[in-house]
């Protein structure tokens, strides 16, 4: 309690969408994380060039049970999930595609 100031209001927190996960206190995936951050610095924040390292980092976390295993599609890697298909996907310039 602070003296002479307004009473502090209670702050309500909400859990993350995917639940909580353990922090990497042991630094098991620290080298991959450092390579990813270095990649972002050297490419001026271009995530496209660093996607493979990002995927490697998530794989490291899943292997060491620092996060639940999930489908790559659910983690934002849609192109890896659809590359197994032989049919071409509709593009933004496809005239048959409805928006």
| Chain segment 4-48, per-residue pLDDT in tens | 666 666 777 665 666 566 788 899 999 999 999 999 999 988 888
Give the per-residue pLDDT at 40: 92
The residue extents of the domains of the chain are: 30-76
Lowest mean pLDDT among 33-37, 40-44, 69-73, 84-88: 84-88
pLDDT at 86: 36
Distance CA 38, CA 44 (A): 10
pLDDT of residue 90: 41
Q: What is the pLDDT of residue 96?
A: 47
Is residue 75 within 8 Å of residue 62, measured between CB atoms? no
**Which two tokens mark 41?**
């610095």
Tell me how far CA of residue 9 lies from CA of 1, 6, 16, 68, in angstroms.
11, 9, 22, 35
């Amino acid at each position: 309690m602070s003296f002479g100031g307004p009473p502090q209001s209670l702050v309500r927190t909400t859990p993350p969408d995917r639940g909580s996960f353990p922090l990497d206190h042991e630094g098991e995936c620290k080298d991959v994380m450092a390579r990813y951050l270095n990649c972002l610095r050297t490419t001026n924040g271009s995530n496209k060039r660093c996607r493979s390292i990002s995927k490697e980092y998530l794989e490291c976390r899943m292997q060491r049970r620092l996060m639940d295993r999930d489908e790559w599609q659910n983690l934002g890697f849609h192109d890896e999930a659809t590359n197994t298909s032989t049919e071409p996907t509709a593009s933004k310039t496809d005239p048959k595609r409805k928006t």
